[in-house]
Amino acid sequence: MLTKKWSVDNADPMKMNYPQLKEAAALLQQEEVVAFPTETVYGLGANALSDQAVQKIFEAKGRPGDNPLIVHITKKEQLTGLVDNLPQVAEKLMDAFWPGPLTLVLKSKGSVSRYVTAGLDTVAVRMPDHPVALALMEVAGLPLAAPSANLSGKPSPTSAAHVDEDLNGKIAGIVDGGSTGVGLESTVVDCTTEIPVILRPGGVTKEQLEAVVGEVGVDPALTSQDQAPKSPGMKYTHYAPVAPVFLVEGGLDFLKSTVHKAQNDGKKVGLLVTEETKSQMGEAGDVMLACGTRSDLSTIATNLYDALRAFNATDVDIIFSETFPKSGMGAAIMNRLEKAAGHKVIKER
């Protein structure tokens, strides 16, 4: 398949008149799959109401069919045709965080493709905060089912180049709207329970949610590998580069000794660290990539997937990553790192 590519200036208020955006929208109307930017990561979009179109998402990604998808919309009025009930807590969250990196799980009206919901009686919906995404959906006139635009299990894409690397020849088109902002997927909140529950941490923190609606729970699957997760994008291993990733819990000296031990065993070592740690590591590690600063975790979120992908261009045998507190944005960062590492942790005793 020939994958068409279009560039759209996300700052141009006339972008909806771009012929390339109209061409991409026409392909979506023809049941094809098109990648596009959001403020979190690039999404792989298809008509959420069409079985034929949504199946192409799963085929392109190699994504298991029992893993539900998030539906993207441009206006709240679209919810009327998608969900059966809109609880007050969901309305409060929408008013506070839409458009933005927040997905709400609601009772499905049954109008979306059965492949979107993976057989569940709920549907996950969000309104992205990216001008190109919103313009594309407006021109197409469709709600779009859109998981991250990468091969299943690989780090999510934060640029059109990442999408091209994974899916060129597998999808109809890629809309290049520049780099994403948040860098991690949306927070997913189940609003069908008495107390809303976080199913996946992301761009909106637990603390921010609770400031709006009070108590917010956390899905036990986020803290236990024995529980089956209920959120889109959380059922299988994700975000992994080619070399195995290990999280290292401990001080700077312990990280250095862990690196030296692996090197003494003949391994070429990659290090995923903060700017602060990089300045103190000296010559430790063979490839050292800094993904942001510990003083501002949002910088780590923005750069995390790009750094994980960058290791694939090296010949490292193993990757060690430092860890972060599981509060605020750190909860989402650690969730992705734990998935990338398959929960492999080396702890200082």
> Taking the domain 245-347, which CATH number applies?
3.40.50.11030
| 3 state DSSP class of 325 | coil
CA distance 47 to 252: 49
> What is the mean pLDDT of the segment spanning 181-195?
96
pLDDT digits (tens, 9 = 90+) for 69-112: 999 999 999 999 999 989 999 999 999 999 999 999 999 999 99
CA 293: distance to chain centroid? 20
Torsion on CA atoms 308, 295, 219, 37, rounded to nearest 10: -50
Q: Read off the pLDDT of residues 267-293 as tens digits, 9 standing for 90 and up.
A: 999 999 999 999 999 888 899 999 999
Higher pLDDT, 232 or 311: 311
CA 133 to chain centre: 15
Q: Residue for token digits 């635009």?
A: 149
What's the mean pLDDT when you consider all of the chain? 93
State how far the Cα of 7 lies from the Cα of 160, in Å rounded to an integer.
9
For 218-269, what is each residue's pLDDT tens digit? Answer: 999 887 655 545 566 555 556 789 999 999 999 999 999 999 999 999 999 9
Q: Where in the chain is the domain with CATH 3.90.870.10?
A: 4-222
Determine the residue type at 253.
Answer: D
Decide if domain 4-222 falls under CATH 3.40.50.1580. Answer: no
Q: Where in the chain is the domain with CATH 3.40.50.11030?
A: 245-347
